[in-house]
Amino acid sequence: MLVFLVFNSSRKIFIAVLLVRFKMLLKDMPNDVRDRIIPVARPLDSVMYECITCGKNYPLTQLLYTCPDDKGLLNVRNNTFDELRQQDPDMLKKIFSLRKSLDDPTIINDQALHGVFRWQELVMPAVGLEDVVYLGEANTPVIAANPFMNEYVGTTFQLKHDGIEPSVSFKDRGMASAVSFLNYLYNNGHLKGFLGICASTGDTSASATLYLSALTHNEGIHSAVLLPKGKVTPAQLSQPLAAGAQVLEVPGVFDDCMDVVQELAANYDVALLNSKNGLRILGQKTFAYETAERFAYDMKDKVIVVPIGNAGNVTSVLSGFLDLYELNMIDTLPKIVGVQSENADPVVTWYETDKFEKVDVTQTGPSTAQAAYIGNPVSFPRVEKLTQEYRSKGGNLHAVRVNEQEIMDNMLLANRNGLTVCTQGGEAIAGLKAAVEKGYVSGTEIAMVDSTSHQIKFAGFQMDYYSDKLRNPSDPGRNYGVIPKKEYVNLPQTVQKDVTAVAQTLGLTK
């Protein structure tokens, strides 16, 4: 490399130096931050459970999901946060950013600093690199929508594609933090073994079992999931099976599965991996951190759009931006727009009426945004509390509902414009358009849409749309009421091995 530098023109030296900076050894990191690049594992009591209802704290050595006193949800409290608040925010930005460039084969698990543990001081200070389970999550691409799509929704937007993750959804962010913490407890003798379990609309189980599969070679570590029978896509069902997990199908909807695993978690020694578990929220906050970093920490006139199901993701987005605000890393809280299908819209109704009531989704009709088809979001109490705090600090949260036709049409339109979104992504884009129409978002604001998964996992809905199978009153469980629009339908054509016939079919003329 040095020889290369010496014998080339100054311009090429500049290019070579840039390359070195992009992939850096620890020894090449700037002097002022070098000794902070590898995060230090703080003692276990640097983090604690904190009940969101009564404020009581509990040690993180127990597998605990609700307050033993009042059944309140537990958040993970970071006792080192005040220390961080004393630090120079620009220095913190520099450390977090440089970790992304660390590529040093002499450091064990160095690649884990490209994932959610790049923000270790904010995500989980008790866990050091040696215990992190990194499978390639986070650090997801940002894609600018084309001019046609911007005009269509009414404002400029970008897509942060969390479908580009190892299990093909954003859930990997939270699973990386939760499973890494379990790994840490196990490796340090706090847990002899555990059964990792979750209820799922498809993506949580895909992610949980993938992360657990990296650990199940250890004695005593097992993995199981509960799924609503027939209510996850074939691709999603294949994932926990591939990971070697025990897969239990329950006739019913997600909320039924969630009821069962909540009871299990309350009465048996299991590691619950739903977003009810505060450890999941920690990693999912990195979506907010990465988004802020992508906008150079200038969140003025920025809007974040998220589909809402069990409300873990919107909880994470709210609390992630609040973290950065508290640390003076951003000085404005972005606007947040949550989106739900009209068939599972308890958060939108709360937004509009200030009253929360769970929705019995067996009475409302099904949703193609199946991964967000939840009538009783477990994290709602967190959302209510965080929204209050968010608003008191000058930010805001809006919520909009969209219908099934809009979800499918927007997914298919986005797919034709370079955006490989799933039905939940279609829901989010439809929600952004609705938010502009309602005046919640103006045409001068820039939106970041959370693309929570990938088109390919939900391709069955596309095929059912093309063949007009999304409305069928005799099958209420699949009667989405969606009418295919001719301009979006695209079916394969059969041709013979004959050049003239093929050319004719393609409309080619000599």
Among Zn ion, ligand PLP, none, residue 69 binds (CB under 5-8 Å by kind): Zn ion
Closest approach, Cβ 493 to ligand PLP, in A, equals 31
Total chain residues near ligand PLP (CB under 6 A): 17
Query: Is residue 329 a contact point for ligand PLP (CB under 6 A)?
Result: no
Q: Return d(Cα 279, Cα 284) in angstroms, integer.
A: 9
Give the rounded distance of the alpha carbon of 423 from its chain centre.
15
Query: Is residue 167 a contact point for ligand PLP (CB under 6 A)?
Result: no
Which residues does residue 304 pair with via DSSP β-bridges, in sequence order? 336, 448
Half-sphere exposure (Cβ direction) of 70: Cα atoms closer than 13 Å: 11
Q: Return d(Cα 505, Cα 48) in angstroms, integer.
A: 66
Among Zn ion, ligand PLP, none, residue 310 binds (CB under 5-8 Å by kind): ligand PLP
Q: Return d(Cα 240, Cα 232) in angstroms, integer.
A: 12
Neighbouring C-beta atoms of residue 489, cutoff 10 Å: 13
Query: Is residue 75 a contact point for ligand PLP (CB under 6 A)?
Result: no
Q: Helix, strand or coil for residue 472?
A: coil
Task: Return the residue of 25, 72, 195, 235 that touches Zn ion, per CB under 5 A.
Answer: 72
Site string for ligand PLP, 356-395 (x = CB under 6 A): ---------------xx-----------------------
Query: Is residue 283 a contact point for ligand PLP (CB under 6 A)?
Result: no
Closest approach, Cβ 56 to Zn ion, in A, equals 5
Task: Return the residue of 239, 415, 424, 462 that touches ligand PLP, per CB under 6 A.
Answer: 424
Task: Return the residue of 60, 64, 67, 206 that touches Zn ion, per CB under 5 A.
Answer: 67
In contact, 480 and 465? CB cutoff 8 Å: no
Query: Is residue 310 a contact point for ligand PLP (CB under 6 A)?
Result: yes
Closest approach, Cβ 113 to ligand PLP, in A, equals 25
Query: Is residue 274 a contact point for ligand PLP (CB under 6 A)?
Result: no
Closest approach, Cβ 418 to ligand PLP, in A, equals 19
Query: Is residue 311 a contact point for ligand PLP (CB under 6 A)?
Result: yes
Encoding tokens for residue 246? 């025990």
Q: Return d(Cα 9, Cα 11) in angstroms, integer.
A: 5
Q: Quick one: which of 180, 250, 122 has its CA closest to 172?
A: 180
Query: Is residue 53 a contact point for Zn ion (CB under 5 A)?
Result: yes
Which residues does residue 302 pair with via DSSP β-bridges, in sequence order? 446
Encoding tokens for residue 410? 């927007």
Angle at 256 between CA 252 and CA 260, to 5 degrees: 130
All residues at 6 or more sequence positions from 251 whose CB lies less than 8 Å from its CB, including other chains: 228, 229
Closest approach, Cβ 70 to Zn ion, in A, equals 4
Closest approach, Cβ 76 to ligand PLP, in A, equals 16
Residue whose entry in the numeric block shows the structure tokens 């690199």: 129
List phi, psi (to 5°) of 142.
-110, 130
Task: Return the residue of 115, 228, 240, 312 that touches ligand PLP, per CB under 6 A.
Answer: 312
Query: Is residue 308 a contact point for ligand PLP (CB under 6 A)?
Result: yes
Q: Would you mind telling me the total number of residues written for the chain in this entry?
A: 510
Query: Is residue 73 a contact point for Zn ion (CB under 5 A)?
Result: no
Query: What secondary structure does DSSP assign to 87-133, as a single string?
Result: S-HHHHHHHHHHHTTB--TTSTTGGGGGTGGGGHHHH-TT--GGG--
Query: Is residue 51 a contact point for Zn ion (CB under 5 A)?
Result: yes
Site string for ligand PLP, 178-207 (x = CB under 6 A): -------------------------x----
Q: Tell me whether residue 241 or residue 502 sits nearer to ligand PLP (CB atom).
A: 241
Q: Tell me whether residue 450 or residue 464 sits nearer to ligand PLP (CB atom).
A: 450
Among ligand PLP, Zn ion, none, residue 169 binds (CB under 5-8 Å by kind): ligand PLP
All residues at 6 or more sequence positions from 266 whose CB lies less than 8 Å from its CB, including other chains: 65, 66
Q: Return d(Cα 397, Cα 318) in angstroms, integer.
A: 9
Task: Return the residue of 313, 319, 340, 415 that touches ligand PLP, per CB under 6 A.
Answer: 313
Closest approach, Cβ 419 to ligand PLP, in A, equals 14
Among Zn ion, ligand PLP, none, residue 274 binds (CB under 5-8 Å by kind): none
Helix crossing, 203-213 with 234-242: angle to 10°?
A: 20
Task: Return the residue of 128, 309, 366, 395 that touches ligand PLP, per CB under 6 A.
Answer: 309
Task: Return the residue of 95, 178, 253, 422 that touches ligand PLP, per CB under 6 A.
Answer: 422
Is 454 exposed, middle or buried (CB count within 10 Å of its CB: 0-12, 13-18, 19+)?
Answer: buried
Query: Is residue 125 a contact point for ligand PLP (CB under 6 A)?
Result: no
Interface positions with ligand PLP (CB under 6 A):
169, 171, 203, 275, 307-313, 371-372, 422, 424, 452-453
State the residues that interact with Zn ion by CB under 5 A: 51, 53-54, 67, 69-70, 72
